[in-house]
Every structure is written in structure tokens, then in C-alpha cells.
Amino acid sequence: MEEMKDTGGLWEKADDIALIRAFLGGAEAAFEALYRRHKGQLYGFLIHLTGSEAEASEVFSETWIRALDKLPRYRDDGKFGAWLLRIGRNYYWDRCRRRNRYPTDSLDAELPPAVAAPRCEEPEERRAADETGRAIEAALRELPPEQREVFLLRQQEISFREIATMQRVSVNTVLSRMQYALRSLRKKLAGTVGK
């Protein structure tokens, strides 16, 4: 048992590519470490992108299953997180296209779970944060999908260049989408955030 704990600790310290190689060599614990490292980011991104916990959960599990299949061909560029987000967003848009409807259609049906700031706050302050968080979520859902995606990917610290590759547009287009997204959010949230 002690040995297992030690091994787990070692996996936690290893970088992504070492974990991938170890997993492909048969070490299941390496994948667990990789999964633990990236699951929160992917899930957070998908919740905000889809606006639905049910949809995000489905896309989340399918993204990992697809990533598993593609793992032997993964080329290390030190950005496994970005690679995972790309698989997730591609799958999500494929799903939307398959259903032949605009993804925002169903967004009002289910609100994402509370996404208030995780730090400790006084109840009064926390309630205000929850309300602001919901206002931001609502404003985000009103953005055109491509602008919302740029905003969310930037939030995950994905570079504009990478976003351009994912969306198959030029960097300038991505920059202007971000600019429009920020302008719309500012307009919609005027008087809500930073009160």
C-alpha cells in the first residue's frame, strides 16, 4: 500500500508526455494522474461552452475516450491540455452539426451549476458573487458560439494562435472575435460586475 502511494506521488510529478508513455506501456496509474491533472480544466471549459451539465458530461467522457484512441499518435508539444480542449470542442461542434441545430437553442433549458469564485467569502459577498457569476454565464450564452468559444479558450490560457488553428481561421479573426466578445460582455454586464 505504501509502495502504491509512493508510485502515485511519482506519477504526479511526471510531465504529461512521460505519463502518456508510461500509460501506453501498460501503467494504468499514469493515466489516472494525467486524468486528474486535466479533468477539471476540460470539464470547466465544456460546462461554460455547452451551458448544460448533461451535455458537458457526455462531451467530457467522449472527449477522453477519443483522446485515448488518439493517444498513441499524440505528438508532444508540451500542450496536452490544449490538445484535449481541441478534441472536446471539435466533438461538441460535430454533435451540434449532427443534430442540425444551433447549440444555443437548448441552453436556456438547463443552467450550469453554480460557478461562484472558489475562495472563501462572507455569505453576503458570496451571494453577490453567485449572482454575478450567473449574470456572466447568461451574458456568455447570448454571445455567438464562435465568440463565446474564443473567450472561454482564452480563459483557459490557450494562445490566440492555437485558437486560430482550432477554429481554422486567421489570428486576426480570432482577435476580432475576442474584441467583440469582450465588448458585448461589457455592455451586457454594465453595472453588474464590480459593484
List interacting residues with other proteins (CB under 8 A): 23-24, 26, 28, 31-32, 35, 39-41, 43-44, 47-48, 57, 60-61, 64-65, 68-69, 113, 115-118, 129, 132-133, 136-137, 140, 155-157, 185, 189, 193-194
CA atoms within 13 A on the CB side of 151: 23
81's CB contacts (< 8 A; 6+ apart) are 38, 41, 42, 156
In whole angstroms, how close is the CB of 117 to other proteins at the nearest point? 5
Cβ proximity to other proteins: between 27 and 171 the closer is: 27
Nearer to other proteins, 97 or 131 (CB): 131
1-5: long-range contacts, CB 8 A cutoff, minimum separation 24: 4/29
Say which residues have a Cβ less than 8 Å from residue 124's Cβ, sequence separation at least 6: none
For other proteins, the closer CB: 37 or 169:
37
Closest to other proteins by CB, 61 vs 172, is 61
Min separation Cβ 122 and other proteins, Å: 13
Cβ at position 88, least distance to other proteins in Å: 13
Euclidean distance between CA atoms 97 and 99, whole angstroms: 5
Distance between CA 65 and CA 70 in Å, rounded? 9
Q: Which is nearer to other proteins, 48 or 86 (CB)?
A: 48
Q: How far is the CB of 77 from other proteins (least distance, A)?
A: 21
Q: Give the SS3 label for residue 68.
A: helix
